[in-house]
Amino acid sequence: MKRKIRIIPLLLAAALLLGTIPTAFAADVCTGYSSWFEPSLREMQELNLLPDSFKGMDLSEDISRGEMCELAVQALEQITGYSIEPERTDYFSDTSKDYIVKAYELGIVEGYPDGTFRPNEPLSRQEFFQIMENFCKAAAFLPEADSSYLEKFDDRGDVAEWAQEAAEICVKYGFVNGRGVGDVVGLMPESNTLRQEAMAMFLRGFKSVNEYYYYIKNAQVTVDDNTGSTGDGMTGENTVVDNVEITGVDKHMMVTTDALNVRSSWSSDSKILGSVRYGADLTVTGLCENGWVQILYKGQTAYVSGDYVTDYKEVDHTATEGAVEVANFAMTFVGYSYVYGGASPSSGFDCSGLVYYCYGQFGYKLNRVADDQMDNGTAVSYDSLQVGDLVFFGSGSYANHVGIYIGNGNFVHAANPSSGVRVSSLNETYYATRYIGARRIILN
């Protein structure tokens, strides 16, 4: 007994010593950083925000475009609790790095017009501003810009037009304070960004977004809410494209034919970009005087014939009691595993399996696959979403993912193997850019 009693304190002491190693070694994780950055470095290590590749880096050097992608993707996965599987890896001719492809699909970064990404190029400060705005949107945090916050910077006029809004957001929300040179503090938008500067500014942004996303992950069913707008959708902004006047609008319309070609211009002679099917929800940005309709398609401006689309009928935004019951029932499975082909609590769920099972328990027989479930129920516009509606995501007219709307811009779904059944926001860039329509199963 005495030997055991003496061993236990030794084991406890060893455990305590091992437990302090990460903190004690934090200062040695990277090199070349200033003393002011050490608290931020320690905090980033504690929050698991340091990619493995950053260990041993000289933080007095400029951060590269690729390094910023890796930092942003790891942080976003920390916030949301899941990792996406890239749909493709061949977006760029000079890199197929996993974290760069993910950052691109999440809307955090863009490539160059020549098809390259240039991952080793230094990141300018205004590029950092833009990445921070995109990072916020990727997590459904939609900050508002305010130009008055840049008035204190004498070099605000040096910010490129494409980075103006991002700079305003970064300063307004405290992500960026400016860089001091003597008694002058400037934005220095065209300067490169040191690694320690980028990491310190990014940490501030991460904490704001992480706090916001907590309420999405813990959202509950919210009744008497809809996502949308009121009025006729007219924006009052008219443009002329190839001698055809286009009246600017902001609304949603529905496809009324089996398959409708999406084209690069307002003519049946123009290039076909893809197609959308019956019931697809179209984000309409303009009405052409020749009868064609300007839409947003896969992030770019496109056109469809106005003969095959229609406005949605006015609907009651109040969810039916039955639909609310289904949504609340689906929420009881948050935390369950994602299993491909699964459609029950005992086996786990895939996306359409969760929808199929939940509605089935209330006597509604739906199709089993997400794309086929787009044939169930009645099409409803994004602006008319109510609790219990099915929301679909995919590419073009094909639905490869589905969830159940729970109100306040959120939906419950079996996301993927890394996160299982969870709540996400329709405003997250990944889902906002892939949203293709909604169906209402319970009408009254």
How far apart CA 274 and CA 420 sit, in angstroms, is 31
Phi-psi region of 284 (alpha: psi -120 to 50; beta: other; left: phi over 0): beta
How far apart CA 276 and CA 279 sit, in angstroms, is 9
Query: Rounded to 10 degrees, what is the CA torsion of 160, 165, 167, 173?
Result: 180
Q: Which of 170, 288, 351, 358 is catalytic?
A: 351
* Of the candidates 150, 142, 123, the residue with the CA atom closest to the CA atom of residue 61: 123
Report in angstroms the alpha-carbon separations of 71 from 56, 102, 268, 335. 15, 12, 45, 27
Contact by Cβ (8 Å): 317, 226: yes
Q: Any catalytic annotation for residue 136?
A: no
Give the pair of three-digit tokens for residue 12.
């406890």
How far apart CA 96 and CA 99 sit, in angstroms, is 9
Give the pair of three-digit tokens for residue 259.
């398959």
Over its C-alpha atoms, the chain yields an Rg (Å, rounded) of 25
Contact by Cβ (8 Å): 392, 402: yes
How far apart CA 67 and CA 296 sit, in angstroms, is 31
Contact by Cβ (8 Å): 216, 424: yes
* Of the candidates 145, 134, 190, 205, the residue with the CA atom closest to the CA atom of residue 169: 145
Three-state secondary structure call for residue 294 = strand
Please, which residues have CB within 8 angstroms of residue 390's CB and are 6 or more apart in sequence? 355, 373, 376, 377, 402, 403, 404, 405, 438, 439, 440, 441
For 284-391, where are the alpha helices, taking DSSP H only?
321-331, 351-360, 370-373
Give the pair of three-digit tokens for residue 358.
């939940």
How far apart CA 163 and CA 159 sit, in angstroms, is 6
Q: Any catalytic annotation for residue 252?
A: no
Give the pair of three-digit tokens for residue 437.
């329509």
Instruction: Give the DSSP letter string of 408-430.
Output: TTEEEEE--TTT-EEEEETTSHH
Active site residues: 351, 401, 413
